Every structure is written in structure tokens, then in C-alpha cells.
Amino acid sequence: MLRYVLKRLVSLVISLAVASLVIFLAIEVVPGDPAAYMLGLNAQPDTLAALRDQLGLNGTIPARYLSWIGGMLTGDFGTSYTYRTPVADMIGERMWISLPLALYALSLSTLIAFPAGVWAASRRGSAVDMGVMGVTQLGVAIPNFWFAMLMVLVFAINLRWFSAGGFAGWEQGFLAGMKSLTLPAIALALPQASILTRVMRSSLLDTLSEDFIRTARAKGLTRRQVLWRHALRNAMIPVLTIIGMQFSFLLAGAIIIENVFFLPGLGRLVFQAISARDLIVVESVLMLLVFAVIVVNFAVDVAYAAVDPRLRGRR
Amino acid sequence: MIYMTFTRGMVSALALVAGVGMAQAKTDIIVGMQLEPPHLDPTGGAAGAIDEVLYANVFEGLTRFGPDGSVNPGLAESWEISEDGTVYTFTLHDGVMFHDGTTMDGEDVKFSLDRARAEDSVNAQKALFAGITDVEVVDPLTVKVTLDAPNGAFLFNLAWGDAVIVAPESIDDIKTNPIGTGAFKFDNWVQGDRIEIGRNPDYWGEPAKLERATFKFISDPTAAFAAVMAEDVHAFLGFPAPENLPQFEADPRFQVLVGSTEGETILSTNNKQAPFDDVRVRKALAHAIDRQAIIDGAMFGYGTPIGTHFAPHHPDYVDLTANTAYDPELAKSLLAEAGFADGFTTTLKLPPPSYARRGGEIIAAQLRAVGIQTEISNLEWAQWLEQVFTGKDFGLTIVSHTEPMDIGIYANPDYYFQYDDADFQNLMEDLTAESDPEARSALLRQAQEKIAEDHVNGYLFQLAALRVANAKIVGLWENMPTQANDLTAVYWED
């Protein structure tokens, strides 16, 4: 097990190094000068040069890459061009919204998907199964921003139960914070839950048709016992993969939902930074997201090994 | 639906019960804006959102703009101009304090002006200060500014947000903790979300009527609509979805204010790129455009047609729209005369705002009708700045020039549309040197006519200032003579 974990760790470090190089080069070749963006139409050439100097945009590309990577290794993500505050602080602040939102949405989707998937699989072909499949088909098909706008219309504009968006702030209390994240979390969770339900169901059905299940039934276990004791654990691998992917997606991919609910999260930060050519922010946030994806994948790999002993021995 | 109406009724009944005893007028306001300022230093960036939060509220200059665009005394209570027009002696208000408790005096004025014109200055409007040769502090309340030549627009220039007075003590943190002299103090900035300002109890002038104001940043037009409808914000300044305004107008909870801005929206034309170097082609372009159709289609009817690069609400404005009336037949014959009977193909590069994207599609169709094919490309602002503004690699583009009184850009042959005309340049030199108001307005009229005759650009419309507010809010500026949201006189009606 230790050997397996070590191997995964090495590949994690290599992936990170390659990703950082790709991100840096990709962002550097994007056209657009951050200084010109900040100073607008009446800026004079000497003013632009002065600002570029202030921002440290005059160094060579390798030197800037090394200073970026070096800074990041020591926890210094640099200073945002436009906001002029440390990028690490900005990311930290946004994390307090994006991370809870992602976890909230993921919990909702898992809480819905597990029972729904198991229920549908255990009653294959029944009305319940058909119903679950129909609803999840709809859930996958509905664009989440549209669903979000619909919820705003009903719950914020008509019923006035929630505000139309914005974040109350954790300093207003845990419940107030969670309340402002509720509609966005539901909007994000709906398609995820639908996907997860379907994966859960089909994975469970696959497992239920395998020989060892028949053996277990033959030795006298009830359907329910087989389901809970043998099938579920074996059906978990694809489900874990999807959950891992969903978490990284939710962390980074909430850009549209954050815009609909004007939440100051990571997605919106990246969005603003890209249009303002605040390259250092874009690079750092992307790197962080890559880091999150790779670490989550690492955790999922380790979790596989825990669920499935065969993986530990594999070369 | 029945269920929803019923619930809504219940909720409003509850709200009524809860509302008893709240008869007192509100003293705080939440104001929505589409764009967030990148930082809070009006003297170090071009983003309009910086001034829209801070100008007149937190920071003040020697002079300031009134709601009608007039230039009024600000921190300078009066001034004297020397006979030859090159020396301005400002008398400052006594007892003005910065929000950190330090006094504002002549040294701060000198510091601010010297900083703006310094070699390493990053002031986005550095040209405003170009003529200053010396700033001298005569005594704490008297400052003498010497110019290299008379400049009739100097007091106007000093009213810009880029010319506000800042203090050396607080300059290092100005981008995140702005310390000014205004009727509101900066309180808090939750980046990506909101900026809060509160009343300055020690203000030297008429104190602000509101206790607190929060600027909330909502970039998505649909979200902006929802926020106003749900009354999450009390007002939205620069409302991004003109198509929704009729709905607010019909709702007694809201008032809709439609004013004018300084934004001349133009079909900018590359005067050095063939075939636009031929004035007949540019004239054909002007006649091929149906302004009203663009205003109706792109702005849902909000906007005033213009025939030159000048704000229609300005007293010196000349309405020249009739000279370039929509006449596709004339456009075609002009093109034929210039040797383009079969038309030609050019590029149309569009920045992100909806006036450009939606307007671009309409203009492309109108040009196609006279034989001009356009290759449309949609650009982000940063790309637009690089390709169009700096690189001058474009045939046509649509952009709104939002700086006040910016007809002077036509005197710069290197400016991106590359209009190079000696007569116009002389005209602008005369204007700068002239301080007699009547002679100035005659020159301004001449300048407007000159660029209209030369059809430098296609002149489309003046961008409207669209605001939605709770019906009980009083004192919001209707027009936007500069990019500012002066909240100092805003209050709630009982």
C-alpha cells in the first residue's frame, strides 16, 4: 500500500510541474497588455511604461516563470495587477465561498443520488425505476443557469424567501451564509445528482448481475443482504471517480452560477481576471485548481485501493 | 400560480405586520453597479467604476462637476487667474480634514498635482496636467499653479476624478484604503462583492444625508434585473438591460431615470486604411447608417442621435444629424463615384459592450445594403486595446468615448482612427489658448462642424444613462456629466 501511494505521489509532482509550465506559457501568449487595459484610452506611452515597470512586466519570460514558481513554492502567489493586493489573500477570501458552495452542492447531490440510485437499481424496471430515470434525464438536460434563474424568479422575486443573490458573509452567522448558498447549491447539485444517480444505478446493476452475487444469493442471503453487503461496495469504484471529478468541477466550474447569483467566488475571480488581463491571478488560480484536481484524483486513487485490495498490488 | 399568489399575499401581510413602527425614513442605501472598480485610486487608473464609487463621495478636487456638467468650486473656495491666463491662484477652504484626521492644505494640493504630472506617474489622464510648469504653496491656504500657456479648460480639467486631492500620508495604501476629504468615508471592501461607505461626521461642507451607502457589484444583466425586482438593491446605476426598463416603469415600486452621459458612441473608422482614406467613402458610410434603427435595435430606444463628436446636452452642441441623414441611394452613388460600385470588404471589430455587439450586427446589415461587406470579429477589451487602439489594425469598430469634452482627440494624428488635419489641429490649439467663453464656444462649434464635414467617423448616438431606483429615493443625478454617482445629496422620502 505504501509503495502504491509513493508511486502515485511521484506522478502527482510530475503532473503539477508540467501543468505549471503549460499554464504559464498559455497565459503569456494571450494577446492584451494589462497596463493598457488599466489605463484606458487616454494613456500616454510614458505612463504605460511606468505602470508596466511597476507591475514587473518587463522581465524575460523564463525569469518571470521562475519567480512565479519560486514564489508559489514558498506560499507567495504574487500581487494582483489590478487589485494590487496579494493573490493568496484574494484566493483565500474567495475560497470561503467556493469551497463551502462546492461541498454543499456535492453533499446535496450525493444525498439525493445514493438513495435514488440504489432504490432504482433494486427495483429495476418498476415504476420507481422509470420515474427516477425520467427525472434524472430531465436533470441532465436542463441547463443549470436556466434552472437557477427559474429558482430566482420563484423563490426570490415572487416568494421573497431568499435574496436574488449575493453572499451575506460568514460574519452574519453560519445559517445566514448557508442560506445565501442554498439556491446556488441546488442549481449546481441538480445536474450532478442526476448524473450520479444514473452512474450509481447502472454500476449497481452491473454488479448485481455478476457471478459472486449469484453465489451469495445461492448460499441463502436475501436480496437486501446481497445488495448492502456485497453489491454496494463493489459498485462504488465508478461512483467514487464521478464524485472526485464532480468536486473539482464544482470548485472551478461554478463560474456561470456565480454570475447568476453574483457570488464573489473563485470562478468569478478568474472570469474578471481574464478580461482584465490580470495574468498573475489567472495563473495562480488555475494552478490552484489543477492542484485541487490532481490531489482529489490522488485521494480517489488511494480510496480505490482501500475499497479494492487488488489495486494495491498492481504495477 | 394560484398557490404562488396566495403565498405572496401571505408574505406581504406578514411584511405589513413587521413593517409597523418602521415609519422613519431609511438612512442607508444599497446601490447596484455592473462593474467593480479594480482598485480605489482615482488618480491611478482609467476604469470608470473607480470614479463611480469614489468621485465626490470620498474624494474631492479643487473644482467639481455639478449634476449639469458645470464646473463648481470644490476644495478651492475661489481662484484668481492672471491677466495672461497662465497663473492660477487658488484659495482653499479652511478647516478641511482628510478622513484620517490630518488637515488638507496647500502641501497636499502640491503633492497631488506634482504626483499626477511626475515622470513615473501612472495617471490615466496625465495629459490634463501637461501644461503645469510649477505648483507653489504660498501659504497653507493659497496655492499658485503656473502653466506654460493659457489653458481655457484648466478648471474643467481639475474637476476630473483623476485630479482629486490626495495626501502623502495615506498614498501608499490608497488602492485598498482610500483616504479623501469627501462627505463619505470609505469603510469596507469585500472584493468581488461590495464596497461600503459611511457618512463623514467632520465634513467641511453640507453633510451627506445618508448614514451609509453600499455599492454592490452585479455584472450579469439578468441577475441585475432579479436583484432590483427582489429589492436586494435600492437602486441600480447604469442598468445593463434596457429591455427590462418598461417593466420597471410600469411598477409603482420603482422610478426609472433616463439621462445623458458623456459617451459619444461612434462607428470609428480607420482614416489611414484604404478605402477609408477617401472622404467620399466615409461620407457614403455616414449616409448608409440609419441611426434610429441602431438606437431602437441595440439600445431599445434609449439614446440621442448625434451628428458629430459632442454631447447633445452641452450648450455648445450643434445638431448636424440632418447632414448625414439615412440615404442608402446617395451612399451607393458616392461609393460608385469613389470607384467602388461593386462595394468592398472591410473588418468590423467589436468590443464587449452590448451597444457594440448588438449595434454591430445592425450596422453590418445596413452596410451590406449598400454593398459594403463586413467581417465581424468580437473582441475582449484587452484584445480590442491591443489590435484596434494600439495596433490600429482595423477598418471599422464601434466604441463609446466616455470622457467628457474629448473632441481634442481629433487633433492627435496618432490616435487610433488616425485623423490628420492641420486645420483642425490649429483649431484645437486656438481653443486651448482661448479663455473668453464666447470665443471658446464659437471655436467648439467650428470644431464639431469640421469633423462632421470630413466624416472622420460615423456618428451614431449619445449613450443614455439608465438608472432604476426605489420610488422613494430622491436626489440621484439624472445625467452623468462625468463617470460619477454623487450620493451626497441623496435621501429617502418618508
> Which residues of A are less than 8 Å from B385 in CB distance?
32-33, 36-37
Residues B282 and B305 in one domain: yes
> How far away is chain B from the Cα of A228, in angstroms, using its nearest Cα?
41
Q: Does B121 reach chain A within 8 Å, measured CB to CB?
A: yes
Q: Which site among B177, B193, B377, B383 would you substitute to test the A interface, given the most A Cβ atoms closer than 10 Å to its Cβ?
A: B193
The answer to whether residue B55 is domain-embedded is no
Q: CATH number of the domain that B193 lies in? A: 3.40.190.10
- Flag whether residue B173 sits within 8 Å of chain A, measured between CB atoms: no
Residues 354-383 of B with CB under 8 A from A: 380-383
Per-residue confidence band for B159, with pLDDT thresholds at 50, 70 and 90: very high
Kindly report the CATH number assigned to the domain that includes residue B405.
3.10.105.10
CATH number of the domain within which B150 lies:
3.90.76.10
Within this chain, do residues B69 and B121 fall inside the same structural domain, yes or no? yes
What tens digit of pLDDT does each residue of B34-58 get? 988 888 999 988 888 899 999 999 9
Residue pair A265/A91 in contact by the 8 Å Cβ criterion: no
Closest CA to B287 of B351, B347, B359, B369: B369
How many other β-carbons are positioned within 10 Å of the β-carbon of residue B188?
10
CB contact under 8 A, B382 and A32: yes
Provide the whole-model pTM. 0.83
- How many beta-carbon contacts under 8 Å exist across A and B? 162
Is B17 a domain residue?
Answer: no
pLDDT, tens digit (0-9, with 9 covering 90-100), for B388-418: 988 899 999 999 998 888 899 999 999 999 9
- The Cα of A276 is separated from the nearest Cα of chain B by a number of Å equal to 7
CA distance B390 to chain A (A): 9
The partner residue sitting opposite B382, judged by closest CB among A54, A169, A277, is A277
Question: Closest to B223 (Cβ–Cβ): which among A37, A165, A276?
Answer: A165
For residue B13, what pLDDT is reported? 44
For each of chain A's 315 residues, which pLDDT tens digit applies?
788 888 888 988 898 989 999 988 888 777 777 788 777 777 778 888 888 887 777 778 888 888 888 888 888 888 888 787 888 888 888 888 988 999 999 999 999 998 999 889 888 888 989 999 999 999 989 888 899 989 998 998 888 888 888 888 888 888 888 888 999 999 999 999 999 999 999 998 888 888 888 888 888 888 888 888 788 888 888 888 888 888 877 876 678 888 889 888 888 888 888 877 888 888 888 888 888 888 888 888 887 777 777 766 554
- How far is it, in rounded angstroms, from Cα B294 to Cα B310? 18
Residue B38 covered by a domain? no
B307 and B332 part of one domain: yes
Q: Does the pLDDT of residue B290 top 70, yes or no? A: yes
Q: Give residue A313's pLDDT.
A: 59
Please write the tens of the pLDDT for every residue from B345-380.
Answer: 999 999 988 899 999 999 999 999 999 999 999 998
Q: What is the pLDDT of residue B25?
A: 77
Strands B194-199 and B184-190: antiparallel
B251 touches chain A (CB under 8 A): no
**A36: nearest CB among B216, B380, B385:** B385
d(CA A211, CA B471): 72
B208 and B182 in a common domain: yes
Asked if B39 and A82 come within 8 Å (Cβ–Cβ), the reply is yes
- In chain A, residues with a C-beta closer than 8 Å to the C-beta of B401 are 41
Q: Which of B135, B168, B201 is the last residue of a domain?
A: B168
Looking at the domain assignment, is residue B249 inside a domain?
A: yes
Kindly identify which residue of chain B lies nearest to residue A30, measuring between CA atoms: B383
Whether residue B72 is predicted with pLDDT greater than 70 in this model: the reply is yes
First to last CA, chain A: 12
Residues B100 and B131 both lie in one domain? yes
Mean of per-residue pLDDT scores for chain B: 90
Per-residue pLDDT at B94? 93
Report yes or no on B203 lying in a domain: yes
Question: Within this chain, do residues B152 and B256 fall inside the same structural domain, yes or no?
Answer: no
Å between B4 CA and nearest CA of chain A: 7
Torsions phi, psi of B60, nearest 5? -135, 150
Based on the fold, state whether residues B455 and B470 are members of the same structural domain. no
- Under the banding of pLDDT at 50, 70 and 90, the label for residue B434 is confident
Domain boundary among B126, B142, B168: B168
Last residue of a domain, one of B168, B190, B205: B168
Mean pLDDT, residues B279-302 taken together: 94
Domain span at residue B92 reads 61-168
Residue of chain B whose Cα is closest to the Cα of A52 = B122
DSSP states of A217-241 as a string? HHTT--HHHHIIIIIHHHHHHHHHH
Same domain, B449 and B335: yes
Which residues of chain A have a CB within 8 Å of the CB of B124?
A: 38-40, 42-43, 47
| DSSP assignment letter at B204 | S
CB B278 within 8 A of CB B454: no
Are B192 and A265 within 8 A, CB to CB? yes
**B216 in contact with A, Cβ within 8 Å:** yes
Give a yes or no: residue B39 inside a domain: no
In this complex, the residue of B36, B383, B401 whose CB is nearest that of residue A31 is: B383
Residue A167 is nearest to which of B193, B226, B401, comparing CB atoms? B193
- B411 shares its domain with B343: yes
Write down the ipTM of this complex: 0.77
Do B477 and B453 reside in the same domain of the chain? no
- Asked whether residue B123 falls in the same domain as residue B201, the answer is no
Do residues B217 and B278 both lie within one domain? no
**B28 — alpha (psi -120 to 50), left (phi > 0) or beta?**
beta
Contact A166 B230 (CB under 8 A): no
Can you name the residues that pair with B392 across neighbouring β-strands? none
Does residue B272 lie within any of the structural domains? Answer: yes
CA distance B8 to chain A (A): 6
pLDDT over 90 at B16, yes or no:
no
Please state the rounded mean pLDDT for residues B191-199: 92
Q: Once rounded to an integer, what is the mean pLDDT over residues B61-73?
A: 90
B108, B94, B153: which is closest to B128 by C-alpha? Answer: B153
Instruction: Say if the Cβ atoms of B389 and A36 lie within 8 Å.
Output: yes
Pick the residue from chain B with its C-alpha nearest to A87.
Answer: B191
Structural domains counted in chain B: 3
Looking at CA atoms only, how far is residue B494 from chain A in angstroms? 24
The reply to whether B385 touches chain A by the CB within 8 Å rule is yes
Residue A222's pLDDT is 84
Picking from A94, A153, A259, the nearest residue to B220 by CB comes out as A259
The answer to whether the beta carbons of residues B476 and B347 sit under 8 Å apart is no
Contact indicator for B59, B182 with CB cutoff of 8 Å? yes
Helix/strand/coil for B104: coil
Three cell numbers at A251? 470548485
Query: CB–CB of B192 and A264 under 8 A?
Result: yes
Residue B3 lies in a domain: no
Q: In this predicted model, what pLDDT tens digit does every residue of B301-336 receive, in sequence order?
A: 999 999 999 999 888 999 999 999 999 999 999 999
